[in-house]
Amino acid sequence: MSGLEHFRAENAVDAEVAIVGGGLIGCMTAHELRRRGRSVLVLERGLLGGQSSGVSFGSLRLQGQHAPELPLALHAQALWTEVETLIGESVEFAGHGHVHLAVDDAQEARLAGNAEHGRAFGLPIELIGRQEAIRRWPFLGASVRAASFSARDAVVNPRLVAPAFARAAQRLGATICERVEVLAARHDAGGFALQCRDRDGAERTLRAEVLVNAAGAWSGTLAGWFGETIPLFAAGPAEMVTEPVPRFVEPTMHVVDGSVLFRQTSRGNVVIGGHPRMSVDATTRRTRVPPDKMLTNLGRLVAIAPHLRAYAVIRSWTGIEGYLEDMMPVLGPSATTPGLFHACAFSGHGLQLGPAAAKALAELITTGATALPIAPFGIGRFSAEGRRQVHSLAEEFQDDVLHRPG
Ligand SMILES: Cc1cc2nc3c(=O)[nH]c(=O)nc-3n(C[C@H](O)[C@H](O)[C@H](O)COP(=O)(O)OP(=O)(O)OC[C@H]3O[C@@H](n4cnc5c(N)ncnc54)[C@H](O)[C@@H]3O)c2cc1C
């Protein structure tokens, strides 16, 4: 029975766990829960991976990741190396590493700081002078002063990830419904009642014992149904891609202030990203990159890799990502409602953190505890006391949140 048929069936069995959102977080969590034998229903109002998950740059970056997130990120990276074996499909995982570039003194100091910080967590980061950088990557332009290399960083093809995990979860027995929107939800003595509507306007109330909020940039609405606040804002990094060009680079190249980054796919296309992120309209769910923004980012690109001037950009896009001011997700149990779990507002890092976030959530749901380091991500940090702690954390990361790398 397809997900939609299941939704419409009179006597459909409601699930132990209902997941709102069929992005990579929802699909990975469904897969982890099925591996642990729980019945799972994923409710996605659009298409699987149709929002942030399907449009990301594709970077699994560890280098420069901030301290509260790095332990979970390292765990996630170990899981990523096994993902294709686990789900039996390729997501074009490529462990070519990640290069940070510096174009001035301040950025060079930042490379050194990142390397020291990485070492403190057992992540080796190699510092590289200009001469050696040019030897390894001869295409680099005159502005590059120094580089740092993290070999454990990787990339995947983001378009493949959510659908591949959904298929793997389905093979294990999960029910995945596309084009079913959750309009409202409440909690009562019997668990959760979800008021849902399918693409033809048919409405039904589904029941579940456990509810997972994996609704991405829209997760604040779901939290609000249970009296909780997730003070996220929606923003979108600008992305572009060139026609296929002769192979010239393996690792991702990333000016350390985030102003431009690029990677070459196995087909030869160069995917280009760059800050600042743009504000986007989460209500219309449509986004685009303005032409002036494209020109700015292309100017920065050819300063780093001048030979790319000769090639054509064939597409631009952005997406709607939920950010929090401390650039960390909300991951863990609700503070108001037993059986409700949040896994959202990944602030630009959800692809990298995904496998570990899903594992932590599945452990919490099935055993009530997880040994994974998710303590910094509790929803309690938005209480008055929590906010004070977050504020002091945020001060460590000085620039405007829209301009931060990653
Ligand atoms: C342009 C861009 C580049 C990025 N680059 C990177 C990168 O290089 N590395 C990295 O780690 N991260 C990156 N990210 C971030 C990463 O893509 C996200 O953190 C991750 O995809 C979040 O996954 P998600 O499942 O939480 O959210 P989403 O993929 O947004 O999924 C949430 C889903 O919930 C659904 N939904 C919402 N409300 C309802 C409802 N009421 N009923 C039913 N369904 C609902 C939505 O339709 C959506 O499909 C990038 C993001 C963008 C936009």
- Counting from 1 in the atom list of ligand 1, the atom nearest the Cα of 58 is 8
> Residue 154 Cα, ligand 1 centroid: separation in angstroms?
19
**Same domain assignment for residues 217 and 254:** no
- Whole-angstrom distance, CA of residue 153 vs CA of residue 15: 37
**Same domain assignment for residues 22 and 118:** no
- Who lines ligand 1 at CB under 6 A? 20-26, 43-46, 50-53, 55-59, 181-182, 214-218, 236-237, 239, 318-319, 321, 344, 346, 348-352
How many domains does the chain contain in total? Answer: 2
What pLDDT, on the 0 to 100 scale, is given for residue 275?
87
The answer to whether position 75 is within a domain reads: no
CA separation, residue 235 to residues 227, 258, 278, 282, 348 (Å)? 24, 15, 6, 9, 9
What pLDDT, on the 0 to 100 scale, is given for residue 393?
45
Q: Which one, of 100, 124, 120, lies nearest residue 110 by Cα?
A: 100
Point out the domain boundary residue: 269, 288, 318: 318
**What φ, ψ does residue 75 adopt, rounded to 5°?**
-65, -45
**Same domain assignment for residues 170 and 194:** yes
Q: Which residue out of 7, 56, 183, 317 has the highest number of ligand 1 atoms within 8 Å of its CB and is therefore the one to mutate? A: 56
What pLDDT, on the 0 to 100 scale, is given for residue 1?
67
The answer to whether position 68 is within a domain reads: no
Question: Tens place of pLDDT for every residue, the chain, 406 residues?
Answer: 677 677 666 545 589 999 999 999 999 999 999 999 999 999 999 999 999 999 999 999 999 998 999 999 999 999 999 999 999 999 999 999 999 999 999 999 999 999 999 999 999 999 999 999 999 999 999 999 999 999 999 999 999 999 999 999 999 999 999 999 999 999 999 999 999 999 999 999 999 999 999 999 999 999 999 999 999 999 999 999 999 999 999 999 999 999 999 999 999 999 999 988 888 989 999 899 999 999 999 999 999 999 999 999 999 999 999 999 999 999 999 999 999 999 999 999 999 999 999 999 999 999 999 999 999 999 999 976 665 555 554 444 333 444 454 4
> Residue 139 Cα, ligand 1 centroid: separation in angstroms?
33
The answer to whether position 71 is within a domain reads: no
Point out the domain boundary residue: 287, 318, 349: 318
Q: What is the DSSP string of 24-63?
A: HHHHHHHHHHHHTT--EEEEESS-TTTTHHHHS--EE--T
Point out the domain boundary residue: 275, 300, 318: 318
CA separation, residue 95 to residues 30, 66, 129, 141 (Å)? 26, 21, 23, 25
- Whole-angstrom distance, CA of residue 206 vs CA of residue 195: 7
- Please measure the distance between the N-terminal and C-terminal CA atoms of the chain and give it in whole angstroms: 40
- What one-character DSSP code corresponds to residue 11? T
Enclosing domain of residue 278: 98-151+238-318
> Residue 49 Cα, ligand 1 centroid: separation in angstroms?
7
- Counting from 1 in the atom list of ligand 1, the atom nearest the Cα of 350 is 19
Cα–chain center distance at 239 = 15
CATH number at residue 117: 3.30.9.10
Q: Whose CA is nearest to atom 27 of ligand 1?
A: 216
**Same domain assignment for residues 266 and 375:** no
> Residue 216 Cα, ligand 1 centroid: separation in angstroms?
5
Strands of 77-145 (E only): list them.
Answer: 98-102, 126-129
> Residue 355 Cα, ligand 1 centroid: separation in angstroms?
14
**Same domain assignment for residues 227 and 180:** yes
**Same domain assignment for residues 297 and 171:** no
**Same domain assignment for residues 245 and 306:** yes
Q: Which residue out of 20, 48, 52 has the highest number of ligand 1 atoms within 8 Å of its CB and is therefore the one to mutate? A: 52
The answer to whether position 10 is within a domain reads: no
Q: Is beta strand 203-208 parallel, antiparallel or unpaired with respect to 210-213? A: unpaired
**Same domain assignment for residues 132 and 254:** yes
CB 27 within 8 A of CB 49: yes
**Same domain assignment for residues 196 and 226:** yes
Q: Which residue out of 351, 352, 402 has the highest number of ligand 1 atoms within 8 Å of its CB and is therefore the one to mutate? A: 351
- Counting from 1 in the atom list of ligand 1, the atom nearest the Cα of 349 is 11
CATH number at residue 209: 3.50.50.60
**Same domain assignment for residues 140 and 253:** yes
The answer to whether position 73 is within a domain reads: no
The answer to whether position 278 is within a domain reads: yes
What pLDDT, on the 0 to 100 scale, is given for residue 179?
97
**Same domain assignment for residues 313 and 330:** no
- Whole-angstrom distance, CA of residue 75 vs CA of residue 72: 5
- Counting from 1 in the atom list of ligand 1, the atom nearest the Cα of 236 is 53
What pLDDT, on the 0 to 100 scale, is given for residue 389?
55
Q: What's the whole-model pTM score? A: 0.94
CA separation, residue 31 to residues 88, 157, 162, 174 (Å)? 12, 19, 11, 8
**Same domain assignment for residues 213 and 334:** yes
What pLDDT, on the 0 to 100 scale, is given for residue 309?
98
- What one-character DSSP code corresponds to residue 215? -
Q: Whose CA is nearest to atom 19 of ligand 1?
A: 350
The answer to whether position 248 is within a domain reads: yes
The answer to whether position 405 is within a domain reads: no
Q: Whose CA is nearest to atom 41 of ligand 1?
A: 182
